[in-house]
Amino acid sequence: MRRKFANIYRLGVKELWSLWRDPTMLFLIIFMFTFAVYSAATASPESLHRASIAIVDEDSSPLSQRIASAFYPPQFVKPVMIAPAQIDPGMDAGVYTFVLHIPSGFQRDVLAGRSAEIQLNTDATRMTQAFSGSGYIQQIVLSEVEEFRTRYRGESSLPVRLELRARFNPTLDKSWFGALSQIINHIAMLSIILTGAALIREREHGTIEHLLVMPVTPFEIMLSKVWSMGLVVLLAAFISLQLVVRGALGVPVAGSQLLFFASAALVLFATTSLGIFMATIARNMPQFGMLSVLVLLPLQMLSGGTTPRESMPEFVQNVMLVAPTTHFVQLGQAILFRGAGIDVVWPQMLAVTAIGTVFFVIALRRFRKTIASMA
Mean pLDDT value of segment 258-263: 93
Q: Reply yes or no on whether the pLDDT at 82 is more than 90.
A: yes
Q: With bands split at pLDDT 50, 70 and 90, how would you rate the model's confidence at 47?
A: low
User: pTM of the full predicted structure?
Assistant: 0.73
Residue 375: what pLDDT? Answer: 56
Average pLDDT rounded to a whole number, residues 205-221: 77
Contacts 24+ apart (CB under 8 A), 278-282: 278/192, 278/196, 279/195, 279/196, 279/197, 279/198, 279/199, 279/200, 280/199, 280/363, 280/366, 280/367, 280/369, 280/370, 281/366, 282/196, 282/200
Say how far apart CA 304 and CA 327 lie, in whole Å. Answer: 9
Whether 291 has a pLDDT exceeding 80, the answer reads yes
What pLDDT score does 156 carry? 55
Query: pLDDT tens digits, residue range 115-159?
Result: 888 999 998 887 777 888 888 899 899 888 888 887 755 555 557
Question: What pLDDT does 351 receive?
Answer: 93
Q: What is the Cα–Cα distance from 175 to 181, expressed in whole angstroms?
A: 10
Contact (CB, 8 A) for 268 and 233: yes
Band of residue 260 on the pLDDT scale cut at 50, 70, 90: very high
pLDDT of 94 > 80? The answer is yes
Average pLDDT for 251-278: 90
Residue 204, pLDDT above cutoff 90:
no
CATH code at 53-150: 3.40.1710.10
Residue 232: what pLDDT? Answer: 93
pLDDT given at position 154: 52
pLDDT for res 157: 59
Higher pLDDT, 176 or 235: 235
CA dihedral in degrees (338, 341, 345, 346; nearest 10)? 180
Return the pLDDT at 203. 78
Provide the residue count of the chain: 375
In this prediction, residue 189 has a pLDDT band, given cuts at 50, 70 and 90, of confident
Report the mean per-residue pLDDT for the chain.
86
Give the CA-trace dihedral at 222, 189, 280, 212, to 10 degrees.
-30
Q: What is the mean pLDDT of residues 55-78?
A: 90
Dump pLDDT digits (tens) for 335-359.
988 888 999 999 999 999 999 999 9
pLDDT band at 258 (very low <50, low <70, confident <90, very high): very high
Cis amide linkage into residue 308, ω under 30° from 0? no
- Whether 163 has a pLDDT exceeding 90, the answer reads no
Residue 50 has pLDDT above 90, yes or no: no
> Where along the chain do its domains lie?
2-43+170-374, 53-150
As a three-state string, the secondary structure of the chain is CHHHHHHHHHHHHHHHHHHHCCHHHHHHHHHHHCHHHHHHHHCCCCCCCCECEEEEECCCCHHHHHHHCCCCCCCECCCEECCHHHHHHHHHCCCCCEEEEECCCHHHHHHHCCCCCCEEEECCCCHHHHHHHHHHHHHHHHHHHHHHHHCCCCCCCCCCCCCCCCCCCCCCCHHHHHHHHHHHHHHHHHHHHHHHHHHHHHHHHCHHHHHHCCCCCHHHHHHHHHHHHHHHHHHHHHHHHHHHHHHHCCCCCCCCHHHHHHHHHHHHHHHHHHHHHHHHHCCCHHHHHHHHHHHHHHHHHHCCCCCCHHHCCHHHHHHHHHCHHHHHHHHHHHHHCCCCCHHHHHHHHHHHHHHHHHHHHHHHHHHHHHHHHHC
Question: What is the reported pLDDT for 153?
Answer: 52
pLDDT tens for each residue of 265-284: 999 999 999 999 998 888 88
Compare 5 and 239 and report the one with higher pLDDT.
239
Is the pLDDT reported for residue 45 higher than 80? no
